[in-house]
Amino acid sequence: MFKTPLLKSVSTAALLLASLSAFAAPFSLTPLPYATNALEPVLDAKTMEIHHGRHHQAYVNNLNAQVANFPQLTDLSLEQMMQQMSAFNMAVRNNGGGHYNHQLFWELMAPVGQGGSPSTALQAAIERDFGSLDAMKTAFNQAAASRFGSGWAWVIVNADGKLQVTSTANQDNPLMDVVEERGAPILALDVWEHAYYLAYQNRRGDYSQGWWQVVNWNKVNQLFEQATRK
């Protein structure tokens, strides 16, 4: 005769714990917008599984752990967090940056042949600021290759409204108020070894050159339009 009240009590406790967990974890891992094997042969399924499911998840978990130290994080978008990064500690910088960077990175890729091409406006800006798309790719690949250790290569729209290739260390990005070269990111490549090592080992150059096959230009065009509309 005590089973029903007990079950109700357990159920209520479970709901309360779930509610508290949701409140304590404002950041979450968004599913990939494609299957883990969708970017093959450029990026293999195992790398994508580990990169998204373990590395990115770890950044999310560690960022959520910092909410106790900085409750204001729950009121900020990731973009706002990046722009105020000097107000936080290195744990927020590394893990918040890791979360933002990876969330963007997944969206900037699409299966081979499905990523579209640069819009007329973006193509014109590329030719204006680099001379050609091939020249921009060369500059970008060089930024990826010359980044010592772990980090990222970027194409940004800078404060002058021009396209610029930059690179950052670790999980920093051009939105952060703690980096030298700032701007709105429209293209990003992860050059941490965990992003490519299973298939490419130490051949980072092969990875960055092959990566252009899976660039989601439709997303790049959207980010460029947003950055130049501001």
At residue 230, the pLDDT reads 65
Note whether residue 154 is domain-resident: yes
In this structure, the strands spanning 184-190 and 163-169 are unpaired
Note whether residue 223 is domain-resident: yes
What CATH code is carried by the domain that includes residue 183? 3.55.40.20
Please tell me whether the peptide bond between 26 and the residue prior to it is cis, using omega within 30 degrees of 0.
Answer: no
Residue 133 in this model has a pLDDT that exceeds 50? yes
The domain total for the chain is 1
Note whether residue 66 is domain-resident: no
pLDDT digit string (tens) for 175-184? 999 999 999 9
Note whether residue 175 is domain-resident: yes
Between the CA of residue 63 and those of 76, 106, 230, what are the distances in Å? 13, 19, 29
Q: 25: pLDDT confidence band, cut at 50, 70 and 90?
A: confident
Candidates 156, 208, 148; CA nearest to 187 is 156
Note whether residue 49 is domain-resident: no
Note whether residue 13 is domain-resident: no
In this structure, the strands spanning 184-190 and 151-157 are antiparallel
Residue 16 in this model has a pLDDT that exceeds 90? no
For residues 129 and 131, what is the distance between their CA atoms, to the nearest angstrom?
A: 6
Candidates 86, 92, 98, 70; CA nearest to 173 is 98
Residue 202 belongs to what domain range?
Answer: 120-229
Q: 24: pLDDT confidence band, cut at 50, 70 and 90?
A: low
For residues 217 and 49, what is the distance between their CA atoms, to the nearest angstrom?
A: 23
Q: 13: pLDDT confidence band, cut at 50, 70 and 90?
A: very low
Mean pLDDT of 65-73: 97
Q: Where do the H-state alpha helices sit in the chain?
A: 3-24, 45-50, 57-65, 78-83, 90-107, 120-130, 133-146, 197-200, 204-211, 217-229
Handedness of CA 202, 175, 83, 218 (dihedral sign): negative
Note whether residue 102 is domain-resident: no
pLDDT digit string (tens) for 43-52? 999 999 999 9
The DSSP bridge partners found for residue 190 are 152
Note whether residue 70 is domain-resident: no
